[in-house]
Amino acid sequence: MPDAPGLELIRGEIEQHHPGAVLDTSLERDRAVLVIDAQHLLAVLNWLRETPGHEYRFLSSLHAADYLPAEPRFAIHYELLNRDRVERLRVKALLANPGKDALPEIDSCVELFPTAEFQEREAFDFFGIVFRGHPDLTRILLPDDYVGWPQRRDFPVGGEPVTFTYNERQYG
Amino acid sequence: MRERQLRARDMLRGDLEGEELERHVEEKVVLTSFEKMLGWARSNSIFPLTFGLACCAIEAPISIVTARYDLARFGAEALRASPRQADLIILSGRVSIKMAPVVRRLYDQMLEPKWVMAMGACSSSAGMFSNYAVVQGADKFMPVDIYVPGCPPRPEAVLYGFTKLQRKIQGNPDPGWRQRYNALGTEEWARGGPRSEPGAGDVDAYERARELTSA
């Protein structure tokens, strides 16, 4: 893991090349996090992957999160790994809620990390986040004709009400 | 032994007459209806489908065919790998909405007569998975003959359900607990469910159960 000064050094170096890309850093439970603007996602990931001395060449996980009612509402987490130094770095790209009918969009990183293909499809499947430039952005786990984005926080849980003695007036 | 064989041979030849013939028929011949014999044969030679959905599949069909529980005692040890050869499908686990068409297709491919056991809480009512991904009870999309409660049910419970299914196949199903305990009409329904009205057969069973309990 980069420690706190190391994380700030990374932030400073990225700021030199891509001003305004890094919004914040955090170091919780020894996990270094770079909070970035989604506009600069590919530039930051490419820089972390290619720059000598960093070389985070392995994307070990990609996942989406819904922080409703916070704003920006969505975030995509990229868990990067350098396998020589066994150092992990998390990049968190913030995505604003584009409104009721539009879907949030972010660039696809399949070109940089081919393993992201299925994981981006999963994030699209459950959160309705559109990855621009993805080769085949379709549902992966849910049925193709499913309607809705079920892991969003405002999605109803589903199921059926079950009648018990204490609530039979309500449902009976 | 030898004597009996000779007597059977004599009867087949038509040499047996009078009182001897009467005695032989009384000892050796059982009269029954064809349906009963068919039901007896079917219930004791069920071919279950080798099919598991989730964690319940560890108990059935895997555990119940092992030597410890031994489904072969009930004549059902021949698990078939193809639905076209199977009589019984055990829904062992939750049915997700993506799996439901596949399960239905398997069921449709099975030849008549066929039976379905919903094993465990999940395939009976979705159990703890009251959410967007799981069908709320497998009886939403296919007929179910017998429900085995439990999470997961013990293999003994599955075998108990199996013997109940055998009696159902023989045309002599056990009454449900509501019939046995004079509790017809106490069904509770979730919102939008059908009203609880016992059918004609239920009333007869109810009367029979009442006689049995008062006797």
Could you tell me the residue ranges of all domains in chain A?
4-171
Touching B: A residues 110-129, CB under 8 Å:
none
Q: Which positions ≥6 away from B1 have C-beta within 8 Å?
A: none
B156, B51: one domain: yes
B98, B158: one domain: yes
B71, B137: one domain: yes
Question: pLDDT grade, residue B201 (50/70/90)?
Answer: low
HEC-encoded secondary structure of A71-106: CCCEEEEEEEEECCCCEEEEEEEEECCCCCCCCCEE
B152, B53: one domain: yes
Q: Please indicate, yes or no, if residue B55 is contained in any of the structural domains.
A: yes
Q: Please indicate, yes or no, if residue B159 is contained in any of the structural domains.
A: yes
Q: Which residue has the higher pLDDT, A161 or B42?
A: B42
Does residue B193 register a pLDDT over 60?
A: no
Q: Which residue has the higher pLDDT, B215 or A109?
A: A109
B141, B181: one domain: no
How much is the ipTM here?
Answer: 0.72
Q: Can you tell me the distance from the alpha carbon of B58 to that of A78, in angstroms, rounded to the nearest whole number? A: 36
CB contact under 8 A, B190 and A155: no
B57, B154: one domain: yes
CB contact under 8 A, B189 and A148: no
B161, B94: one domain: yes
Among the listed residues B23, B153, B39, B170, the one whose alpha carbon sits nearest the alpha carbon of residue B90: B153
Touching A: B residues 148-187, CB under 8 Å:
none
Q: Please indicate, yes or no, if residue B112 is contained in any of the structural domains.
A: yes
Q: Which residue of A143, A150, A162 is in closest CB contact with B98?
A: A143
CA distance A145 to chain B (A): 10
Question: pLDDT grade, residue B18 (50/70/90)?
Answer: confident
Supply the pLDDT for residue B209: 65
For residue B155, the domain's CATH number is: 3.40.50.12280
A33: DSSP letter: E
Question: pLDDT grade, residue B161 (50/70/90)?
Answer: very high
Q: Can you tell me the distance from the alpha carbon of B6 to that of B52, in angstroms, rounded to the nearest whole number? A: 52
Touching B: A residues 127-166, CB under 8 Å:
141-143, 146, 148, 150, 155-164
B96, B165: one domain: yes
* Mean pLDDT computed over B48-66: 89
Find where tokens 């499947």 sit. A125
Q: Which residue of A148, A158, A162 is in closest CB contact with B131?
A: A158
Instruction: Tell me how many domains chain B contains.
Output: 3
The gap from C-alpha B205 to its chain's centroid, in whole angstroms, comes to 19
In sequence order, what are the beta bridge partners of A105? A130
Supply the pLDDT for residue B106: 93
B199, B135: one domain: no
B81, B162: one domain: yes
Question: pLDDT grade, residue B196 (50/70/90)?
Answer: very low
Closest residue, chain B, to A143 (C-alpha): B98
Does residue B212 register a pLDDT over 80?
A: no
Closest residue, chain B, to A140 (C-alpha): B98
Closest residue, chain A, to B102 (C-alpha): A143
Q: Please indicate, yes or no, if residue B37 is contained in any of the structural domains.
A: no
Domain range for B96: 46-169
Question: pLDDT grade, residue B183 (50/70/90)?
Answer: confident
* Mean pLDDT computed over B100-117: 92
Q: Please indicate, yes or no, if residue B125 is contained in any of the structural domains.
A: yes
B193: DSSP letter: P
Give pLDDT tens digits along chain A (172 positions): 678 888 888 888 888 888 888 888 888 888 899 999 888 899 999 999 988 888 899 999 999 999 988 888 999 999 999 999 899 999 999 998 887 788 999 999 999 999 999 999 999 999 999 999 999 999 999 888 888 898 988 888 776 766 666 766 666 5
- CATH of region A4-171: 3.30.460.80
| Best mean pLDDT range from A26-30, B33-37, B192-196 | B33-37
**B21-35, B61-75, B188-202: the lowest-pLDDT one:** B188-202
pLDDT (tens digit per residue) in A19-51: 888 888 888 888 899 999 888 899 999 999 988
For residue B101, say if its preceding peptide bond is cis, omega within 30 degrees of 0: no
Supply the pLDDT for residue B112: 87
B199, B163: one domain: no
Find where tokens 């890094």 sit. A22
Q: Can you tell me the distance from the alpha carbon of A91 to that of B16, in angstroms, rounded to the nearest whole number? A: 96
Structure tokens of A52? 């000598």
B102, B129: one domain: yes
CB contact under 8 A, A157 and B126: no
CB contact under 8 A, B98 and A141: yes
* Mean pLDDT computed over B141-158: 91
Supply the pLDDT for residue B189: 59
Supply the pLDDT for residue B165: 93
Closest residue, chain B, to A147 (C-alpha): B132
